[in-house]
Amino acid sequence: VFLAQKLAGKPFTVVGDGKQSRDFVFVKDVANAFCMAAESKLSGEIMNVGTGKPQSVNRLVELLEAPSVTYVPKRPGEPDLTHADASRITKLLGWKPKYSFEQGVKLILDNIDYWRQAPVWTPDTIAAATKDWFKYLGK
């Protein structure tokens, strides 16, 4: 969402106040974890993939150098903090993330042209998608 907005020169749309934190994991680290699991002799094990170092959405917006930011109301039930405990995958497979949050964002920005064809979300389209999402929750 943010990358398409950046490329279009549009304000970034942040759902909530941006203080909510997530465990952002660079995709190459996720792919590496999947490959390590697939190549191991383990079967039926449940393991989380994450950094264990949550970052705020506002920090992501800052690193992506948003031209401006539009804040829209937080979705009902959206948690303020989510992060993974990856100790099990580290113990069983020796996996650890190789890329820091900042390194991952930089690599994404270095390859931003990939996102030129992505749809640009606006506060209105986010509101419509959220309304549609609640239909599937039986609300």
CATH code for the part of the protein at 2-135: 3.40.50.720
Mean pLDDT score across all residues of the chain: 91
pTM over 0.85: no
- Model pLDDT for residues 51-85, shown as the tens digit of each residue: 999 999 999 999 999 999 999 999 888 899 999 99
- Number of helices and strands in the chain (H, E): 6, 4
Domain ranges within the chain, ordered by starting residue: 2-135
- Residues sharing a CB contact under 8 Å with residue 132, sequence separation 6 or more, in sequence order: none
The pLDDT assigned to 138 comes to: 61
pLDDT band of 126, cuts 50, 70, 90: confident
The pLDDT assigned to 111 comes to: 86
